Chains A and B, each alone.
Chain A
Amino acid sequence: MNRFRIWLIWPLAIAGNLAIGNWLFSSAYAKDTEELGKCICENKVKAEADNCLDKLKQSYWQDNKYSEFVDLLRNLHPENKSIVPSLSYYIALSRYQQFKYLEETKGWDEYFAKGNDYRNDIVKETGKSLEATALDDPLRIYSRLLIYQFHKDQQDTFTEGALSDLMSSTLEYAKAIGQKAMVGPQIAQANKDTEPIKEVADKLLSYDEKAKAKELYKIYAKGLVNSDIKDGALKDKAAGFYKDGNLELAQDIYDVYIERISKVLPKDKLISELAGIASAFSYQDSGFKDMFYAEKIFQKIEEIGGLEAFNEELIYLRGFNLEKNKEYRQAKDIYLLLIQKYPESKHIDEVTYKTGLIFTYILRDAKAGREYFDKLADKEGDNPYALSSLYQMGLLKQWEADFATAKGYYNKLIEKSERKVTDTFQMAQDRLKEIAEGTSMEHNLKTFMDTSLKEEFVNLDMSKVDLKSNIYQPKVDQAVDISSSTNLSSSGCFNVELQYLWSCDLGDAKPGVNQPEFKTTYKNQGTKIIGLVLISPSGITERSLDLIDAR
Chain B
Amino acid sequence: MSPLSLRGHFSLVWRTVPILLLAICFLAAAPRGRPKVFIKKLKNNHYQLIVEHKPYIIKGVCYNPIPISQNYEYDWWSDPNKPWIVDGKLMKDMGINTIRLYQVDGDSDAVKRVIRDLYKNYGIRTILGSWLGFWEYPCPFYGDKKFQNKVKKEVLEMVSLYKDEPGVLMWVLGNENNYSCLGTVNPWSSDEIDKEPDPQKQKAMRAKIYYSFVNDLTREIHKIDSDHPVALGNGELVGLEFANKYARDVDLVACIIYRGKTFGNLFRSLKLTFDKPILVSEFGADCYDAYLKKEDQNMQAFFLESQWRQIYENLAGNKDGAGNCLGGTIFEWTDEWWKHDQSNPDSWSVHDTTSNWSNGSYYFDIKAEGNKNMNEEWFGIVALSQDLEQGINKRVPRKAYYVVREFWKKPILNNKRNKK
Contact = CB atoms under 8 A, between A and B. Distances in A.
Interface string A153-186: 0111110010001000000000000000000000
Interface in A483-498: 488-496
B129 to A, nearest CB: 16
Contacts of A456: 197
Nearest to B237: A490
Contact of A155 (B256, B264, B298, B305): B264
Given A156-B262, A490-B236, A536-B184, A120 B179 contact: no
Interface in B306-341: 306, 309-310, 313-314, 318, 320-322
A26 interface: no
B24 interface: no
A491 B185 contact: yes
A116 interface: yes
B235 interface: yes
Contacts of A157: 267, 310, 313-314, 318, 320-322, 415
Interface stretch (A124-132, A284-292, A408-416): A124-132
Among A126, A490, A536, find the residue whose CB has the most chain B CB atoms closer than 10 A.
Answer: A490
B199 A156 contact: no
Interface stretch (A61-69, A104-112, A378-386): A104-112
Contact of B412 (A106, A111, A116, A495): A116
Interface residues of B, number: 49
A459 interface: yes
A162 to B, nearest CB: 8
Given A131-B420, A459-B198, A537-B187, A492 B256 contact: yes
Interface string B216-249: 0000000000000000000110100000000000
B403 interface: yes
A540 to B, nearest CB: 10
Contacts of A123: 414, 416, 418
Q: Per DSSP, are chain B's interface residues mostly helix, strand or loop, or mixed?
A: loop
A439 interface: no
B213 interface: no
B74 interface: no
Contact of B302 (A111, A120, A158): A111
Nearest to A161: B417
B254 to A, nearest CB: 13
Contacts of B299: 106
Given A112-B403, A127-B418, A491-B184, A161 B320 contact: yes
A119 interface: yes
A271 interface: no
Given A120-B414, A157-B321, A537-B184, A493 B176 contact: yes
A201 interface: no
Interface in A127-143: 127, 130-131, 143
A490 B183 CA distance: 10
A273 to B, nearest CB: 43
B253 interface: no
Interface string A473-508: 000000000000000111111111000000000000
B356 A495 contact: yes
A491 B318 CA distance: 32
A130 B264 CA distance: 27
B261 interface: yes
Among B183, B264, B299, find the residue whose CB has the most chain A CB atoms closer than 10 A.
Answer: B183
Contacts of B318: 157
A135 B197 CA distance: 60
Contacts of B179: 489-492, 494
A377 to B, nearest CB: 36
B185 A158 contact: no
B357 A495 contact: yes
A108 B301 contact: yes
B416 A127 contact: yes
Nearest to B364: A106
A174 B193 CA distance: 57
B102 interface: no
B182 interface: yes
Among B306, B415, B418, find the residue whose CB has the most chain A CB atoms closer than 10 A.
Answer: B418
B313 A108 contact: no
B408 interface: no
A96 B357 CA distance: 32
A130 to B, nearest CB: 5
A147 interface: yes
Nearest to A108: B298
A154 B412 contact: no
Interface in B151-200: 176, 179, 182-185, 187, 197-199
Among A108, A119, A490, A492, find the residue whose CB has the most chain B CB atoms closer than 10 A.
Answer: A492
Interface in B48-72: none
B313 to A, nearest CB: 4
B147 interface: no
A459 B235 contact: no
A130 B299 CA distance: 34
A108 B302 contact: yes
14 contacts: A131-B418, A131-B420, A155-B262, A155-B306, A161-B320, A489-B183, A490-B235, A491-B179, A492-B185, A492-B235, A493-B374, A494-B176, A495-B356, A538-B183
Q: Identify the 7 closest CB pairs spanning chains A and B, nearest first.
A: A492-B235, A108-B298, A489-B182, A155-B262, A538-B183, A157-B313, A119-B414
Interface of A: 103, 106, 108, 111-112, 115-116, 119-120, 122-124, 126-127, 130-131, 143, 147, 154-158, 161, 165, 456, 459, 488-496, 536-538
Given A123-B416, A157-B322, A157-B415, 4 more contacts: A108-B302, A156-B313, A158-B415, A495-B357
